[in-house]
A and B are shown apart, each in its own frame.
Chain A
């Protein structure tokens, strides 16, 4: 489990993270969504222990990244957006080198390296220099390294960026496999359709602040087409009428009719014919996650 607790980070005068808090439970994939510069990568770099926070902490399975970094980092794998390695190494050699930091002996690291590099599709490239790797190969390599010791938590930072469809498919499968195996996965992306496909929950961040945390069900609801109807008076009869046209949510004298099954004019006509005084009748079309996000940025926080 990954717990981000009130993390703040400044770079000079720029506030990169402002009291960011959320968690990723075991067996859950959390999409971390925000525009470029929102603070996604900074959050993840703090969470994997490479960037010390100004305040707050990240707890990985009960271990603090700031005060118990070796224990915390042993339980987390990280695939950066643009992995940078020491390019003079050959892939397997560098894998072995990194694996020794995770406590593996050289022969053990060699065996594990061959297995994992094969698993991520780099079996033919393990004796190639890292300098010759494409971005996709580097990400696969980072994934292989992050899988050393089979940690229970993973962080994927914009991992689908720059990948070909095959690569995207590969990482999607990996994430789904991790979820099935009960791992906590934080998946940052600005490709919202991907997040929509993979994530169980979505955390929206903008300008270093969390602006919304939604389950996918909630996101679907927020994004679905609906009609907002404000009536002078609401009773069981009107709810009964509206229920025939879709899912009804009542809040005061305001009714939200989701996924309407009839034309809005027909619904309005029915209400008027039944003698209800309609003060407002507003039709909202289906929204994409992008539109929802833009709307959230526009001030609709939760």
Chain B
């Protein structure tokens, strides 16, 4: 019996109709993933660059990392352009001015850390202010990072960090071209002669666009990835860096307050970096609110990172999850055709030609025969749903770099599977009552009635009774009559969690409706099948 169920399941699942339908829905999922991806990338640049340059012995060295919007280090190709700029700009890249002329250029591919030098011994004498432009090309797109020096005629001066660390401040030698909405905080630590410089990119959720939430993928509060660039090996104190963090909402406006706050804060070492060369350290901060302290040599720099500001947001998740749901909703809408056909192949057709009669002469009861093919179809619903949910989730992950989390994927699979079981139960019942052509006619009619006519009719009735205001109420009511209500409910539940909005469907009604759709039709079908003639 078990073997027979498996054989029937295999031939249901591997048959062309099922495979073609699944392939179409998988392609639809991939297409939607691309659509979401291109919508996002059109809205934002998904590539950032964090780095610094050094000028020593007439040689310009650029060190840096490129990273994706989701914090992944990227390889690619970099073009470094040294330029002679007419005026100096103290703070880069915000003040990088465009009136520059190229003096030298180098191109280099890199896998992780970019480290490239250009010899400027011949050109440097004619340079007033050195401008450095880095064009990074990665598989996710391109980014241009710029920085410029103070006038080269004077000693290279780097502006110290502003006392208010909430302001964005970069040392002149830094390239920070963050993606618009970062999943993580970036520190740029520059140290020279015991002077600490810090660049902190803070994130304000309020001012971000909807896409923000996508980018903080895998960042679940209070986990905050922290990326730090430390230019070591230049004789400064950056060779030995300690990072600490502590809890508490510390606001510091001057050095005195900083010392006091640090003394009061319960600091814990976050990372200890011993760097003899350029380093890009990554560490995580735990805590809903944390103070990050960087300490090197005798200097201490700190920044307050408001972890709540980095909490995963729902805004970008919403279009992603909605895209997934729309794909699976389409599947739940049209997959019934496959199960309509499967019920025909497994029961209605063999019954109409009399092929079940020989099968019934095997040493099984008629109930066994009925259950074998019912279970085979049920297994097919679970397998098909599994393929759909997994393929959709994976295509989103591969293309958009964000996907639904495993628990929600599991819930979706259960919801879609049980909904399709309810659909199969309905068609199985009809196939147990009617044969061949009659089955097809009634089953197709039922499908059109439930999935298309009923919602339209309900809308018309609602409009005629209470006007547009009544349409939503009536639609919400008739959805309980649909066998795929559980899928609707679960997608509604997941979306409500993401958007923190209330669930619009009733839990008890949704579960009861599904339970009835799953259990009643097979019972009615059995009552007809147990005494039915199996001959042609």
Residues of A at the B interface (CB closer than 8 Å) are 45, 48-52, 69-74, 76, 78, 80, 83-88, 96-98, 100-103, 105-106, 142, 145
Residues of B within 8 A of A84 (CB): 353-355, 357-358, 536
Chain B interface residue count, Cβ-Cβ cutoff 8 angstroms: 25
Given the known inter-chain contacts A96-B7, A106-B3, please indicate yes or no for A50 contacting B363, CB distance below 8 A. Answer: no
Report how far A51 CA is from B198 CA in the complex, Å: 88
Contact, CB under 8 Å: B536 / A98: no
Residues of B within 8 A of A83 (CB): 358
Contact, CB under 8 Å: A73 / B355: no
User: How many Cβ-Cβ contacts under 8 Å join chain A to chain B?
Assistant: 73
Residues of A within 8 A of B7 (CB): 96-97, 100, 106
Given the known inter-chain contacts A45-B535, A52-B531, please indicate yes or no for A100 contacting B3, CB distance below 8 A. Answer: yes
Contact, CB under 8 Å: B355 / A100: no
- List 10 A–B pairs whose Cβ atoms lie within 8 Å, in order of A's numbering: A50-B361, A70-B368, A86-B350, A87-B355, A100-B3, A100-B4, A100-B7, A101-B359, A101-B363, A106-B7
Report how far A278 CA is from B480 CA in the complex, Å: 94
Report how far A25 CA is from B533 CA in the complex, Å: 29
Report how far A70 CA is from B354 CA in the complex, Å: 20
Report how far A302 CA is from B161 CA in the complex, Å: 120
Given the known inter-chain contacts A70-B363, A71-B363, please indicate yes or no for A50 contacting B357, CB distance below 8 A. Answer: yes
Chain B: minimal CB distance from A125 (Å): 18
From B3, B350, B358, B531, contact of A105 by CB (8 A): B3
Report how far A102 CA is from B360 CA in the complex, Å: 11
Contact, CB under 8 Å: B362 / A73: yes
Q: Which of B480-506 contact A (CB under 8 A)?
A: none
From B1, B353, B363, contact of A73 by CB (8 A): B363
Report how far A142 CA is from B355 CA in the complex, Å: 12
**Is residue B534 within 8 Å, beta carbon to beta carbon, of the partner chain?**
yes
Residues of B within 8 A of A52 (CB): 531
* Beyond known contacts A78-B361, A98-B362: 12 more, CB 8 A cutoff: A51-B535, A52-B531, A71-B363, A73-B362, A76-B361, A85-B355, A96-B7, A97-B7, A97-B8, A100-B4, A101-B359, A102-B362
Report how far A49 CA is from B361 CA in the complex, Å: 6
Residues of A within 8 A of B8 (CB): 97
Residues of A within 8 A of B533 (CB): 51
Counting chain A CB atoms within 10 Å of each CB, which of B7, B354, B360, B362 scores highest? B362
**Is residue B441 within 8 Å, beta carbon to beta carbon, of the partner chain?**
no
Smallest Cβ-Cβ distance to A148: which chain B residue:
B362
Q: Which of B295-331 contact A (CB under 8 A)?
A: none
Question: Interface 1/0s, chain B 340-375, versus A by CB < 8 A?
Answer: 000000000010011101111111110010000000
Residues of A within 8 A of B362 (CB): 73, 98, 101-102
Given the known inter-chain contacts A84-B355, A86-B350, A142-B358, please indicate yes or no for A50 contacting B3, CB distance below 8 A. Answer: no
Given the known inter-chain contacts A50-B534, A96-B7, A101-B1, please indicate yes or no for A73 contacting B361, CB distance below 8 A. Answer: yes
Smallest Cβ-Cβ distance to B361: which chain A residue:
A48
Question: Interface 1/0s, chain B 1-33, versus A by CB < 8 A?
Answer: 101100110010000000000000000000000
Contact, CB under 8 Å: B365 / A70: yes
From A48, A74, A86, A101, contact of B355 by CB (8 A): A86
Smallest Cβ-Cβ distance to B8: which chain A residue:
A97
Report how far A101 CA is from B355 CA in the complex, Å: 15
Contact, CB under 8 Å: A74 / B363: yes
Report how far A74 CA is from B365 CA in the complex, Å: 11
Counting chain A CB atoms within 10 Å of each CB, which of B355, B363, B364, B535 scores highest? B363
Chain A: minimal CB distance from B92 (Å): 72
Residues of A within 8 A of B359 (CB): 98, 101
Report how far A72 CA is from B364 CA in the complex, Å: 10
